[in-house]
Structure 1
């Protein structure tokens, strides 16, 4: 039997109401603890929408502390060379509202920051975001509207940080998956291109 949730009343009847600490934890500026989290996070995800409401979520990663904190209400995320699709950046030009999640490997809790973004082609802090002498090609600068820590339940349920649960060979390799979009390349060429050693050469 299928039963849709179509109203806020329906939703609350199922999940209930948040406790006061959960309801009131959202702030509009970074705390010292949240700044410290960003200083140790090597990985985040940025969610955007286009003018028609279509969504994109893009991972962003660099050495820990890759997110540059300009002040308590502004952060910047560096952009590195990629496949040039820049779906998220195209979306920001249409709708600047973004949602982000930042992780620290081994930790189940995460930091969520929502706000209004703009695309920077250069700024005085680009040098501070250089890796191996390579400055970012762009930066996504975000004015913080909402910031809060999110609990660890999803990571506890999934056991995501337990290596004994990992099985990266359960699905085809990235080279095999890429065959569908690069049929002109041989299996050997794809394996060589997507090998970690080669990919690391073109990260920056």
Structure 2
């Protein structure tokens, strides 16, 4: 792209156009789940799981099941189940590729870098985290015949 003078090229230029965040905006960022977050997760039948690969490309995968399918394990950890689908596993491959690139919470200073940088996190792939409280029959009723047929065989 040609430098035409009408293209924003720095944070200073961007802030001059947009301004600074409202004072309450940075306060929305937390280092752990709030009670409202837990309530939202318990009621939600859908979420988007975003990852980035070693090549810098991003992937967003839709996930869904009956409300409450995302299990809160503790104040900083949620478990998102994988269901039969297209079996591309793009996000999971990103997690495996970025193993050494994820932030180490033991060395993260939480200081100025924390503003707008997100909460330090480390993704893991569990071989199994069973939900005995969600019978297969309930999932089949919720998703219909496509789930019973194995979705994308």
Q: Same fold (TM over 0.5)?
A: yes
Which of 121, 135, 142 does residue 115 from structure 1 map onto?
121
Which of 70, 80, 85 does residue 82 from structure 1 map onto?
85
Whole-angstrom distance in 1 between the partners of 2:149 and 2:80: 19
Deviations 1:23-59 (A, max 9, x none): 2221111111111110001100011111110111110
Counterpart check, 1:127 vs 2:74? no
- 1:64 Cα deviation (Å)? 0.5
Extract unaligned runs of 5+ from structure 2.
103-117
How many aligned positions are there? 128
Whole-angstrom distance in 2 between the partners of 1:62 and 1:133: 13
- 1:82 Cα deviation (Å)? 1.5
- Structure with the bigger percentage of strand: 1
Counterpart check, 1:201 vs 2:148? yes
CA separation of 1:113/1:130 partners in 2, compared to 1, >3 Å: closer, same or farther? Answer: farther
Instruction: Give the TM-score normalised by the residue count of structure 2.
Output: 0.71
Which of 24, 42, 46 does residue 21 from structure 1 map onto?
24
CA separation of 1:134/1:83 partners in 2, compared to 1, >3 Å: closer, same or farther? Answer: farther
Instruction: Give the TM-score normalised by the residue count of structure 1.
Output: 0.55
Q: Give me the CA root mean square deviation.
A: 2.8
Counterpart check, 1:6 vs 2:12? no
Alignment match, 2:112:
none
